[in-house]
Amino acid sequence: MTKIDIISGFLGAGKTTLIKKLIGEALKGQKVVLIENEFGEIGIDGGFLKESGIQINEMNSGCICCSLVGDFNAALKEVLAQYEPDRIIIEPSGVGKLSDVMKAVQRVVDGENVVLNSHITVADVKRAKMYIKNFGEFYKNQVEFASTIILSRTQDVKEDKLEKTIELIRTLNDKSPIVTTPWEDITGEQILEVMEGKNDFAEELLREAEICPECGHHHHEGEHCHHDHEEHEHCHHDHEGHDHHHHGHEGHHHADEVFTSWGKETPKKYTEEQIRGILDKLADEESQEYGIILRAKGIVLDEDGRWLHFDLVPGEDEVRYGSAEYTGRICVIGSELKEDKLAELFGL
């Protein structure tokens, strides 16, 4: 099965740098074909990529998503037949519409041993507002259709500017994860995990707590989920709010075995004291001001740009410094969670 990843983004957003990072750090040992479609851009450094054992199909005769749609299908089939790659990375012209490229890929995917794995957009944090104003139709399309949005140059802006850009992006796409951490602070593998949707904090925690992420019930060791998952209302992902609601059905388990999780992704900075204060409030079992808390876990930035990792279970909590994440993430699991109060507590 060949995976196809579309890496879109406006001219100069950093697509080439990101592709090099992914190839150098996350895709070693895979047979990768890069199809790049230039539109007045300087070509990617062919030497670097050839050394990595990658064939380049340069398509400089126009834009994949318009004049090249016919040729694109043939070119893609030829690449699949000739190289049988593990992965094809398509870097479309900076001014193209992502939805058009996706449609062109979809035509080839049908009937071939191929899957459209991800369709991401690289967005320069400094220029989002200006691009929306000047190139609205194309820029908005790239953001709206992205399965992951990867912000570039976040190390060059202040926190309030970063937050404003995220708010702007969220008006166009409130579902997909946004990578806000500077690229030099995270690995290509971490970025790839987010692109492939394998970075679900809440689901990870539910599994750790032996709570079935499918149905929200607590299963004891060795006990399986006997009910038909089809009839369950599935966990609705809202990546912005990351709110997961699990609804159990009467008769399967007791109502008190149904848990919910609340979470946010945020680049907001906290001091260690603030986080400890928040955990103290969440740990107060008497008040239940925020609901009945079973677990709270997160990774957030501190004022010095270091990453604070925190973990709370009733009666025990830990705050330490650790590795970077693609953006700050907070998740709380419990029952009768008061989501507005939690958002207020974390200042979100």
Q: Residues 39-53: pLDDT tens digits?
A: 433 344 445 555 555
Residue 199's pLDDT band (cuts 50, 70, 90): low
| % of the chain beyond a pLDDT of 90 | 35
Q: What is the mean pLDDT of residues 234-254?
A: 39
- Name the β-bridge partners of 332: 262, 296
Q: What is the mean pLDDT of residues 155-163?
A: 92
CA 152-127-68 angle, 5° bins: 80
Give residue 250's pLDDT. 37
Q: What is the mean pLDDT of residues 24-51?
A: 65
Highest mean pLDDT among 75-89, 122-136, 142-156, 284-298: 142-156
Does pLDDT of 120 surpass 90? yes
d(CA 178, CA 194): 9
User: CA distances (Å), 253 to each of 113, 236, 250, in order?
Assistant: 42, 21, 7
Does pLDDT of 12 surpass 90? no
Give residue 283's pLDDT. 87
For the entire predicted model, the pTM comes to 0.66
- Report the half-sphere exposure of 232 (CA within 13 A, side-chain side): 22
